[in-house]
């Protein structure tokens, strides 16, 4: 993490220092988690103003703070080390940029409509086999999270992977001004945030801001099968493509799902056979993207392949968990769009379990007509072998309508995740008691909160084991 004198902070953010030139170790914007010797940066939000919690942060061990100069500074805080700034947010970002330059790490920016966090985690799993590697924690990928991720790097970091989120034009460009990426990667262009940007073309424009920010001599890794990304890169920036077509620079071929045994595929060139712990063609494609970057950074094929095989999905991101013999949970509750929903359903389809329960919630921000898209989702379920649907949220009735049109008779709908929890657990436990093997897919947009369903299933079966 950043360790610097307060004078360095003041110079980096263009602020006015007052009080002792203390050494700060780390940065916090949340007084509840502020720690020893940190710098506290108060952020004025819609609900809370961090300036009201500076005293709490100091009590928890922070040694200095920033303060927006247009706000009266309370007398009780005037003797504590601080820096007056124009904007807390701008200062946080400026400090991150200064530290990024000081670290001199090779920075990889990752964006895309789906798969950003998975790709970032997979990249970290591979690159740490050779380099001192840092990566975004969780999905801290916005104007607050990205600078905090940078400020958490060790000073001897060699390669840093930064996830870049987007909710509108210009946002990735702003993140790139902070992070100054050396390498860029776009996973895919999908429907996430379609409601906000209006078209996939506009989404592609926003994602392309990452490529536009790359310096001469760098490279971008892009999906070969996305026409919206068939553009001329900036002068001096190479493009490396990945995908399943013969034209891709790194091609996924001979893909074979092995259900609970993961998946196998070949990367061409160089013809390496890759074993993944989880199935899904999208994971294989992510693996091709990761291979392209690792190879360019000089890693050996055998090291890359072995590391890809060791990658394990994190909770909520298509994590496979055997709750009991014959009971498999596919926890993909973190987010959903039509594209990612289809990929998750493919994984469900490939599982050998006779009973396939889909616990699905709303897909948000996917653009109009939302109801019709949820009907289409319901209609598609039979093709993926779904035997039972438990639909949750505003569009649960639309999913039910589509599922019944597809001749799926066992359908239940719920207004909220909390309303559904008990019934889902009861249903799965009954199947287990009847010795019926069952696989459960839990997936929805983050706002639906389906993680409570996954948690309840884990707890219920853990309790059974303890009896």
Residue 321 CB: number of other CB atoms within 10 A?
A: 16
Q: Which residues of 155-187 are buried (b: 16+ CB within 10 A; e: fewer)?
A: eebbbbbbbbbbeeeebbbbbbebbebbbbbbb
Cβ partners under 8 Å of residue 303, min gap 6:
129, 130
Structure tokens at 19: 């009080």
Which value, to the nearest 10 degrees, does the dihedral of the CA atoms of residues 101, 165, 342, 392 take? 140
Cα distances (angstroms) measured from residue 108 to each of 139, 282, 290: 15, 20, 11
Measured distance CA(188)–CA(224) in Å, rounded: 10
Cα distances (angstroms) measured from residue 456 to each of 104, 311, 320, 396: 45, 26, 16, 21
Binding site: residue ranges?
A: 112-118
Contact criterion met (CB below 8 Å) for 138 and 111 = no
Contact criterion met (CB below 8 Å) for 405 and 378 = yes
Among 232, 100, 121, residue whose Cα is nearest residue 176: 100
Measured distance CA(301)–CA(299) in Å, rounded: 7
At how many degrees (to 10) do helices 281-296 and 116-127 cross? 50
Measured distance CA(459)–CA(425) in Å, rounded: 10
* Residue 96 phi, psi (nearest 5): -65, -40
* Angle, CA of 80, 83 and 85, to the nearest 5°: 140
Do the bridges between strand 183-186 and strand 327-332 make them parallel or antiparallel, or are there none, so unpaired?
Answer: unpaired
Binding site for ATP: residue ranges?
A: 112-118
Measured distance CA(91)–CA(98) in Å, rounded: 11
Residue 254 CB: number of other CB atoms within 10 A?
A: 12
């Amino acid at each position: 993490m950043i360790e610097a004198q307060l004078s360095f902070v003041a110079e980096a953010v263009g602020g006015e220092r007052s009080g002792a030139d203390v050494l700060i170790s780390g940065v916090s914007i949340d007084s509840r988690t502020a720690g020893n010797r940190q710098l506290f940066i108060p952020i004025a939000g819609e609900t809370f103003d961090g300036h009201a919690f500076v005293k709490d942060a100091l009590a928890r061990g922070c040694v200095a703070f920033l303060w927006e100069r247009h706000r009266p500074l309370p007398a009780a805080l005037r003797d504590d080390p601080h820096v007056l700034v124009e904007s807390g947010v701008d200062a946080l970002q400026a400090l991150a940029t200064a530290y990024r330059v000081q670290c001199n790490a090779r920075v990889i920016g990752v964006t895309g409509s789906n798969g950003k966090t998975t790709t970032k985690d997979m990249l970290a799993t591979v690159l740490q086999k050779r380099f001192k590697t840092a990566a975004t924690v969780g999905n801290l990928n916005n104007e607050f999270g990205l600078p905090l991720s940078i400020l958490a790097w060790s000073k001897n970091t060699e390669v840093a992977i930064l996830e870049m989120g987007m909710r509108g034009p210009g946002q990735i460009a702003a993140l790139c001004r902070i992070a100054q990426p050396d390498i860029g990667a776009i996973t895919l262009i999908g429907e996430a945030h379609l409601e906000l940007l209006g078209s996939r073309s506009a989404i592609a424009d926003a994602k392309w801001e990452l490529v536009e920010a790359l310096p001469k001599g760098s490279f971008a890794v892009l999906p070969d099968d996305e026409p919206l990304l068939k553009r001329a890169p900036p002068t001096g920036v190479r493009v490396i493509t990945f995908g399943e077509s013969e034209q891709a620079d790194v091609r996924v071929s001979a893909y074979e799902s092995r259900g609970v045994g993961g998946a196998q595929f070949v990367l061409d060139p160089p013809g390496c056979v890759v074993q993944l712990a989880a199935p899904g063609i999208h994971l294989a494609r992510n693996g091709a993207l990761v291979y392209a970057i690792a190879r360019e950074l000089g890693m050996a094929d055998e090291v890359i392949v072995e590391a890809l095989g060791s990658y394990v999905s994190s909770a909520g991101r298509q994590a496979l968990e055997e709750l009991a013999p014959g009971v498999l949970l596919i926890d993909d509750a973190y987010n959903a769009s039509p594209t990612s929903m289809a990929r998750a359903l493919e994984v469900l389809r490939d599982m050998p379990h006779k009973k396939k329960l889909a616990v699905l919630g709303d897909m948000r921000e996917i653009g109009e007509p939302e109801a019709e898209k949820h009907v289409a989702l319901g209609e598609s379920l039979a093709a993926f072998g779904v035997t039972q649907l438990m639909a949750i949220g505003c569009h649960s009735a639309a999913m039910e309508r589509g599922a019944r049109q597809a001749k799926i008779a066992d359908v239940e709908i719920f207004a909220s995740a909390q309303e559904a929890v008990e019934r889902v657990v009861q249903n799965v436990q009954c199947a287990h008691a009847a010795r019926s093997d069952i696989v459960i897919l839990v997936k929805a947009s983050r706002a639906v909160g389906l993680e409570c369903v996954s948690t309840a299933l884990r707890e219920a079966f853990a309790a059974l084991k303890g009896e």
